[in-house]
């Protein structure tokens, strides 16, 4: 039980933190870049990529397959963004709400943390949705 509690605390800290930039663009693999240039500015594209890499990839994996380092202990498993059936079943607005409000608020896993700080950064959220969509192509 102590291991599970510790894992929950670690995951909450990792998933709930704001994205940080290292200043070294070659330090880690970038999430899939949208196939079309981000319509919301280069800064928003960079911020979305950083957020995915530092927050989302811990559970969803760098390639969006739901196989991030924290995924092995989660039940249910994180969403596999490469699943074409799932991609077809969800709207951009549903993805946006899940990012902003967290899984529990939208009837999904409570392990998916909310990112309320992004409410003031709609262009970053739009680019995060584009990243998620790109995994399904």
pLDDT tens, residue by residue, 48-95: 999 999 999 999 999 999 999 999 999 999 999 999 999 999 999 999
CA 33 vs. chain centroid, Å, equals: 13
| Count of domains forming the chain | 1
Within a domain: 32: no
In this structure, are residues 63 and 69 in contact, taking their beta carbons and an 8 Å threshold? no
pLDDT tens, residue by residue, 16-47: 444 333 344 444 445 555 544 455 699 999 99
Its pTM stands at 0.73
pLDDT (0 to 100) of residue 81: 98
Burial 38-59 (b: 16+ CB within 10 A, else e): bebeeebbbbbbbbbbbbbbbb
Within a domain: 64: yes
Mean pLDDT of 93-121: 97
Within a domain: 35: no
pLDDT (0 to 100) of residue 131: 98
**112 pLDDT above the threshold of 50:** yes
Host domain of residue 127: 2-16+40-135
pLDDT (0 to 100) of residue 30: 53
Distance CA 111, CA 124 (A): 22
In this structure, are residues 31 and 49 in contact, taking their beta carbons and an 8 Å threshold? yes
Within a domain: 77: yes
Distance CA 60, CA 108 (A): 14
Distance CA 40, CA 113 (A): 24
Scanning the structure block, which residue is given the tokens 């003031």? 120
């Amino acid at each position: 039980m102590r291991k599970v509690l510790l894992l929950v605390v670690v995951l909450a800290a990792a998933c709930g933190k704001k994205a940080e930039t290292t200043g070294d663009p070659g330090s880690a693999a970038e999430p899939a870049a949208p196939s079309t240039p981000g319509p919301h500015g280069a800064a928003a594209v960079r911020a979305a990529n950083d957020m995915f890499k530092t927050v989302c990839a811990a559970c969803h994996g760098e390639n969006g397959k739901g196989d991030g380092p924290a995924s092995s202990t989660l039940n249910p498993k994180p969403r596999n963004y490469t699943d074409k059936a799932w991609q077809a079943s969800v709207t951009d607005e549903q993805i946006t709400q899940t990012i902003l409000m967290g899984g529990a608020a939208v009837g999904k896993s409570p392990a998916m943390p909310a990112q309320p700080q992004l409410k003031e950064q709609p262009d970053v959220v739009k680019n995060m949705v584009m990243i998620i969509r790109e995994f399904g192509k």
